[in-house]
Structure 1
Amino acid sequence: MSARVPAPGTDSPAGLELIFKVDGVITLLERHGEMTAAELAEALGEPLSSTYRMLQSLTGVGWIDRSPRRGYYRLGLPMMTIGSFVEDSLDIREVARPSLQLLLRETSSTSFLCVRRGSRAVCVDRLEGRAVRSLAMQLGSSLPMYAGAAPLALLAFLPEPEQELVLRQGSELPGDPHRPAAGKLERILADVRRNGYAVSDGDVTTGIAALGAPVFNHRHELVASISISGLRAQILGSKLRRNSAMLIQAASAVSVALGDEAS
Structure 2
Amino acid sequence: MHTDPSHSVISEGNASRFVDILLEFARHRTLTAAQISKTTGIPASAVYRHLALLVQSGLVAQTRRRGQYSAGPETLRLAANFHQEAMVKGRISEQLQLLSDETQELAAYLVVRGAEALCVDAIEGPQMLRCSYSPGRSLPLLKGASAMALLAHLDPQEQSRIVAGLGLGAEDADNLNHELQIVQGRGFGLSYGAVDAGVWGVSFPVFDDGGRLLGAVSTMAPADRAVRREKQLIASTRDAALALGHGEGSR
TM-score normalised according to structure 1 size: 0.59
Q: For 2:240 and 2:209, how far apart are their aligned partners in 1?
A: 16
Are the aligned partners of 2:96 and 2:108 in contact in 1 as well (CA < 8 Å)?
yes
Cα distance, 1:132 vs. partner?
3.6
- Give the alignment partner of residue 199 of structure 1, picking from 190, 201, 219: 190
% identity of equivalent residues: 27
Where in structure 2 are the equivalents of 1:1-263 lying within 5 Å?
A: 82=77, 86=81, 89-91=84-86, 92-170=88-166, 181-235=172-226, 237-256=227-246, 260=248
Q: For 1:221 and 1:261, how far apart are their aligned partners in 2?
A: 10
Are the aligned partners of 1:218 and 1:261 in contact in 2 as well (CA < 8 Å)?
no
Q: For 1:112 and 1:206, how far apart are their aligned partners in 2?
A: 18
Cα distance, 1:223 vs. partner?
1.0
Identify, as 1 or 2, the structure richer in helix.
2
Are the aligned partners of 1:211 and 1:229 in contact in 2 as well (CA < 8 Å)?
yes
Q: For 1:138 and 1:192, how far apart are their aligned partners in 2?
A: 23
Cα pair distance change 1:183/1:170, threshold 3 Å: closer
Q: What amino acid sits opposite 1:203 in the alignment?
A: A
Q: For 1:193 and 1:89, how far apart are their aligned partners in 2?
A: 29
Moved more, 187-196 or 218-227: 187-196
Are the aligned partners of 2:103 and 2:236 in contact in 1 as well (CA < 8 Å)?
no
Cα distance, 1:150 vs. partner?
1.5
Are the aligned partners of 1:132 and 1:230 in contact in 2 as well (CA < 8 Å)?
no
Are the aligned partners of 1:109 and 1:234 in contact in 2 as well (CA < 8 Å)?
no
Are the aligned partners of 1:100 and 1:111 in contact in 2 as well (CA < 8 Å)?
yes
Which residue number in structure 1 is paired with residue 64 of structure 2?
none
CA distances 1:65-90 after superposition (whole Å, capped 9, x unpaired) = xxxxxxxxxxxxx99x959x749942
Are the aligned partners of 1:196 and 1:248 in contact in 2 as well (CA < 8 Å)?
no
Are the aligned partners of 1:115 and 1:225 in contact in 2 as well (CA < 8 Å)?
yes
Cα distance, 1:261 vs. partner?
9.6
CA distances 1:180-201 after superposition (whole Å, capped 9, x unpaired) = 9122212221221122110121
Cα distance, 1:127 vs. partner?
0.5
Are the aligned partners of 1:225 and 1:251 in contact in 2 as well (CA < 8 Å)?
yes
Which residue number in structure 2 is paired with residue 24 of structure 1?
none
Are the aligned partners of 2:119 and 2:133 in contact in 1 as well (CA < 8 Å)?
yes
Gaps of 5+ in 2: 1-72
How many residues align? The count is: 177
Q: Where do 4+ consecutive residues of structure 1 move more than 4 Å?
A: 260-263
Q: What amino acid sits opposite 2:192 in the alignment?
A: D
Q: For 2:182 and 2:127, how far apart are their aligned partners in 1?
A: 28
